[in-house]
Amino acid sequence: MADGLGDEQVDGVRIVDAGQLPGRLRRIVRTTRKVLHAAVALDADVYQLHDPELLPAGLELKRQGRRVVFDSHEDVPAQLLAKPYLGWLARRFASGVYGAYERHACRRFDGLLAATPFIRLRLAQLQPHTVDINNYPLLQEFDEEADWSAKALEVCYVGGLSEIRGTRELVRACDLLATPVRLALAGRFAEPAFEQELMRQPGWARISAHGHLDRAGVRQVMRRALAGLVTLHPVVNYLDALPVKMFEYMAAGLPVIASDFPLWRDIVEGNGCGVCVDPRDPAAIAAAIDRFCRHPDEARRMGENGRRAVKARYNWRSEADKLAAFYDAVLARGAPASQVHAFGAGAGPPGHAGP
User: What are the two backbone dihedrals, phi and then psi, of residue 259, each rounded to the nearest 5 degrees?
Assistant: -65, 145
pLDDT digits (tens, 9 = 90+) for 243-293: 999 999 999 999 999 999 999 999 999 999 999 999 999 999 999 999 999
Of residues 281 and 215, more confidently modeled: 281
pLDDT digits (tens, 9 = 90+) for 286-326: 999 999 999 999 999 999 999 999 999 999 988 999 999 99
Strands (E), the chain: 8-10, 13-15, 46-49, 67-72, 111-114, 130-132, 154-158, 182-186, 207-209, 228-230, 256-259, 274-277, 340-343
* Domains (range + CATH), the chain: 8-136+315-352 (3.40.50.2000), 139-312 (3.40.50.2000)
What is the end-to-end Cα distance of the chain in Å, rounded? 18
Q: Compute the distance between CA of residue 149 and CA of residue 249 in angstroms, rounded to an integer.
A: 18
pLDDT digits (tens, 9 = 90+) for 51-78: 888 999 999 999 999 999 999 988 888 8
Mean pLDDT, residues 80-105 taken together: 86
